[in-house]
Amino acid sequence: WEVPCTGTVPQDDTSKMSHRLGGMLRFTYRHHFSSISNSNITSDQGWGCMLRTGQMMLAQAFKLHYGGDPVTQRRSAGSASAAGVDQNIANWFCDKPESPYSVHNIAQLGDKKGKPVGNWFSPTLIALVLQELVEQNSIKHDNLRVYVADTATLYFEQIEAINPKDNFSPLLVLIPVMLGAPPLANPIYFGSLLQFFHLPGFLGIVGGKPNASLYFIGYH
């Protein structure tokens, strides 16, 4: 959603914000779950922020895919059908190894890519890990695919290769990019970034700095 930067927020926009925030699945630090892989780690506190914001973004993609836009099209948040969809999606992210998008499976795949369990993920790494996990489980999600533009450039030839027009599948596009020198993004990009939030299929922005990841889903 988008609401004015000055003045009073219109009631309709306040309702949209409340609806969207209330309808989202929230994942945050947990402790006392079963240990991850061959480690003795039973909590992601202090290192799992990017894993959790990545989980939220992917969960939102599933909600959009199965339930429509959470503001304009989604079924009533209190309805039995909406609750069933949300519960099924939430189960995929439970903190246990058998859940396909659990912190266990994300951390273990990150370990295989050179990031030891218990270390912070970069935006590029979480994108690549989620891409592989979705690929492994795509048959469960109507063959949903993930494309990661890991050079910050979209190549339509590559997208068409994994998602040809005569065999279309739902596609989630992730574009990891650094917008200026840390710790803050260069303000020259702000106007363009805000325009993305007007796109119907835009899921938001995941990012921040080491040990402090945020999931941006709108602005006002």
pLDDT at residue 143 in the model: 76
What would the pLDDT profile of 69-126 be if each residue is shown by its tens digit?
544 444 444 455 667 888 899 999 999 999 999 999 999 999 999 999 999 999 999 9
Residue scoring higher pLDDT (12 or 178): 178
Q: What is the mean pLDDT of residues 129-136?
A: 95
Over the chain, what is the mean pLDDT?
83
Provide the pLDDT for residue 69.
53
pLDDT above 90: residue 219: no
Among candidate residues 100, 170, 174, 101, the one with its CA nearest the CA of residue 142:
170
Max mean pLDDT among 126-130, 139-143, 145-149 falls in 126-130
Q: pLDDT tens digits, residue range 1-41?
A: 333 333 344 556 667 777 777 778 899 999 999 999 888 99
Which range (5-14, 44-53, 55-64, 159-168) has the least confidence?
Answer: 5-14
- Please list, in sequence order, all residues whose beta carbon lies within 8 angstroms of the beta carbon of residue 76, skipping any fewer than 6 positions away: 82
Question: What pLDDT, on a 0 to 100 scale, did the predictor assign at position 9?
Answer: 45
Nearest to 48 by CA among 117, 109, 111, 94: 117
CA 113 to chain CA centroid, nearest Å: 20
The distance of Cα 36 from the centroid of its chain, to the nearest Å, equals 21
What DSSP state is assigned to residue 102?
A: S
